[in-house]
Structure 1
């Protein structure tokens, strides 16, 4: 029968007439009112609830990405809401679609090279190989460098401090710091570990698969985008953005 097919199996959640189970936990008795949203996100990404130390660190990761001001994703959300004011979720989705290799999505790239490295070997050699690979390909090294925050990204440093205070600092942090150091030498620039690099390294140490690491940013930024849409409703900016861009783009015809 179709219902017995392994292709349709999920171990995340199941329900009966009297209960809802999520990763083996009773939603009503074990989770609602007992875990926060960050812990629930950790459960979804790892299949287990975090320890107190992991909870504090993971929640800090998400908080660091909720708000970044009038970024392209926030502008996209505001403009989309202007065209479809009846659909808040469409505006938020429009903003989330822009979380790629330039914005937020670099968490995934950083987590990937950290998780693919030999963390029990020579970290300097591992970092050198990572830097050489990206330099040879003439592509940006995910999680390294920032146009404003130099010589250090204060968000990344705060996250590293919290990780250390929780007693969870591992070789992942040492590796990405070494990547930043060697990248700066190779490229002749000041290239600190930025917040997405810190999150990629820390998420790796928490056991989060690099293929889901970008999801931390997606979850966090969704909250921020709802806030931007609400502000847009109360104090619109999209009409002015549209007029300004339209006038600038067609000024050469005047």
Structure 2
């Protein structure tokens, strides 16, 4: 790769002097015309979301903003700041706390949803959900929380 401009080009972004495009869309056309959630969707999925997809991602972003000081990642970030770390160090500390036990339900849910789509069972979801709850866990990953019973806000 001899041209430096090629180094900045990916399937998501093409950046060169005086020009930035995201998924083939000029950044100037996106600014003011897409919400933050719609922009994230475009970057991740490669297409602009429909209104239902945009509302779903917006709801997920709002729900994930803060879970109070008792959440392990938040407690660790606060402790990091107390110990003198700056913002980047505190955020890194919090992110490193995320895994299957804490913050992993989203990934587990996506894996299960991929399984459902790959299995072609969209027309029989009630049966699939009931089977999952009977065989694997009564809680569907990403739905419900041990501290918020009986209903997760």
TM-score, structure 1 as length reference: 0.49
Matched, 1:74 2:74: yes
Which of structures 1 and 2 has the larger relative contact order (alpha carbons within 8 angstroms, sep 6+)? Answer: 1
Structure 1 residues 29-73: Cα deviation after superposition (integer angstroms, max 9, x where no partner): 212233232222111211122233432332121011101110211
- Alignment-derived partner of residue 23 in structure 2: 23
- Alignment-derived partner of residue 248 in structure 1: none
**Aligned counterpart for 1:120 among listed residues 109, 119, 122:** 122
* Residues 1:57 and 1:132: Cα distance change in structure 2 (over 3 Å): closer
The RMSD of aligned alpha carbons is 2.7
- Alignment-derived partner of residue 94 in structure 1: 93
- Alignment-derived partner of residue 153 in structure 1: 152
Higher share of residues assigned helix? 1
Which of the two has higher C-alpha Rg?
1
Q: Which segments of 5 or more consecutive residues in structure 2 lack a partner in the other structure? A: none
- Once the two structures are superposed, the pairs formed by residues 148-187 of structure 1 within 5 Å of their partners are 148-154=147-153
- Alignment-derived partner of residue 142 in structure 2: 143
Count of paired positions: 145
1:133: how far off? 4.2
Q: Which segments of 5 or more consecutive residues in structure 1 lack a partner in the other structure? A: 155-254
Give the distance between the partners of 1:32 and 1:75, measured in 2 at CA: 35
1:33 alignment partner, SS class: coil
CA contact (8 A) 2:76 2:94 kept: yes
